[in-house]
């Protein structure tokens, strides 16, 4: 048994945090495995969407401070151990948060593009209640996802909330009974894998996240959207998307983010 299981089928990679007896408590080895899996998936054109979930009845109960305590005096310590973060990938990432996600368990999920969360599970960015602060760029992801007011409340109080409130706060697109979370996330990922052009997804994702991180104005976004349309229009996938729609069939995409990627200006 490893700290992370990887299963790829039909264009979807399911990455499972795999320490169920410890409620998938985070360790450095788990972070290294997840980072490596993210890199491998992003370089594989056979993977068009990623689902991150947890084994058993929890997503990740936080850092395992007994088996793998943090040591800030260690020169290798970083508060952002997942490298690359999910938002830096070209591949869409969906967090299937199937149970409790506390501390780093939640901040890892916040790096995903979308979150489906278990309705009755407990969630918290609880680090301030442990004498430290939120990690995994949560001081950026939370304002990006839910706004500064929500981010301040969650980061400064460390309070616990459930999946219903996560939807209300804008942290999750949907909450479901725990047993339905993974299936729904996989169905969503499969829809992306089949029906969305890989380069379109990659460019749209990058523009979404960069609009906040680089502070683009509406005019700059409009200019970038036009430039990216120029990259795609007249290409084989733009023609295939129209042909598949007219012929009422599944598209056959040929674009390759791994091979043909050009960063945004």
pLDDT at 265: 80
pLDDT at 47: 98
DSSP 128: G
Which residue from 89, 106, 103, 227 is spatially nearest to 166, judged by alpha carbons?
A: 106
pLDDT at 162: 98
pLDDT at 66: 81
pLDDT confidence bin for 72, thresholds 50/70/90: low
Which residue from 245, 230, 145, 231 is spatially nearest to 196, judged by alpha carbons?
A: 245
Lowest pLDDT segment from 59-68, 138-147, 226-235, 253-262: 59-68
Note the Cα 6 to chain centre separation in Å. Answer: 15
pLDDT at 65: 81
| Domains assigned to the chain | 4-192 (3.90.226.10), 197-247 (1.10.12.10)
> What number of helices (H) and strands (E) belong to the chain?
10, 9
pLDDT confidence bin for 29, thresholds 50/70/90: very high
Q: Rg of the chain's alpha carbons, rounded to an integer?
A: 19
Q: Is the pLDDT of residue 100 over 90?
A: yes
pLDDT confidence bin for 75, thresholds 50/70/90: confident
**Residue listed under structure tokens 């936080």:** 62
pLDDT in tens, 40-56: 999 999 999 999 999 99
pLDDT at 192: 98
Question: How many residues in total does the chain contain?
Answer: 265
Of the two residues 197 and 65, the one the predictor is more confident about is 197
Q: Which two tokens stand for residue 200?
A: 């379109």
Which residue from 203, 207, 202, 198 is spatially nearest to 255, judged by alpha carbons?
A: 198
> In degrees, to the nearest 5, what angle opens at C-alpha 70 toward C-alphas 117 and 116?
5
pLDDT in tens, 167-185: 999 999 999 999 999 999 9
Q: Residue 204 CB: number of other CB atoms within 10 A? A: 15
Beta strands in the chain (DSSP E): 4-9, 12-17, 49-54, 58-60, 93-97, 100-102, 114-118, 123-124, 174-176
Q: Residue 239 CB: number of other CB atoms within 10 A? A: 11
Distance between CA atoms of 265 and 247, rounded to whole angstroms?
A: 35
Helix (H) or strand (E) holding 220: helix 218-232
pLDDT at 76: 78
pLDDT confidence bin for 69, thresholds 50/70/90: low
pLDDT in tens, 7-21: 999 999 999 999 999
Averaged pLDDT, 235-258: 96
pLDDT in tens, 185-199: 999 999 999 999 999
Averaged pLDDT, 120-127: 97
Burial class (CB in 10 A: 0-12, 13-18, 19+), 73: exposed
Q: Is the pLDDT of residue 1 over 70?
A: no
Distance between CA atoms of 36 and 141, rounded to whole angstroms?
A: 21
What pTM did the predictor assign? 0.96
Q: Is the pLDDT of residue 128 over 80?
A: yes
């Amino acid at each position: 048994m490893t700290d992370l299981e990887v299963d790829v089928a039909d264009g979807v990679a399911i990455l499972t945090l795999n320490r169920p007896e410890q409620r998938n408590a985070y360790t450095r080895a788990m972070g290294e495995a997840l980072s490596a899996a993210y890199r491998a998936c992003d370089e594989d054109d056979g993977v068009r969407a990623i689902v991150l979930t947890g084994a058993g009845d929890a997503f990740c109960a936080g850092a395992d401070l007994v088996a793998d305590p943090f040591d800030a005096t260690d020169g290798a310590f970083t508060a952002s151990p997942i490298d690359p973060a999910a938002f830096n990938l070209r591949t869409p990432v969906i967090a299937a948060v199937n149970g409790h996600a506390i501390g780093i368990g939640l901040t890892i999920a916040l790096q995903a593009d979308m979150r489906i969360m278990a309705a009755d599970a407990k969630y918290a960015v609880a680090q301030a209640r442990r004498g430290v602060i939120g990690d995994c760029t949560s001081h950026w992801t939370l304002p990006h996802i839910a706004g500064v007011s929500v981010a301040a409340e969650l980061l400064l109080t460390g309070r616990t909330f459930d999946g219903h409130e996560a939807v209300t706060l804008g942290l999750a697109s949907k909450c479901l009974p725990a047993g339905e979370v993974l299936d729904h996330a996989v169905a969503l990922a499969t829809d992306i894998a089949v029906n969305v052009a890989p380069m379109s997804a990659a460019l749209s994702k990058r523009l979404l996240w960069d609009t906040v991180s680089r502070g683009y104005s509406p005019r700059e976004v409009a200019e970038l959207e036009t430039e990216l349309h120029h990259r795609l229009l007249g290409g084989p996938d733009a023609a295939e998307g129209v042909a598949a729609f007219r012929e009422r069939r599944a598209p056959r995409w040929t674009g390759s983010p791994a091979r043909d990627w050009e960063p945004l200006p």
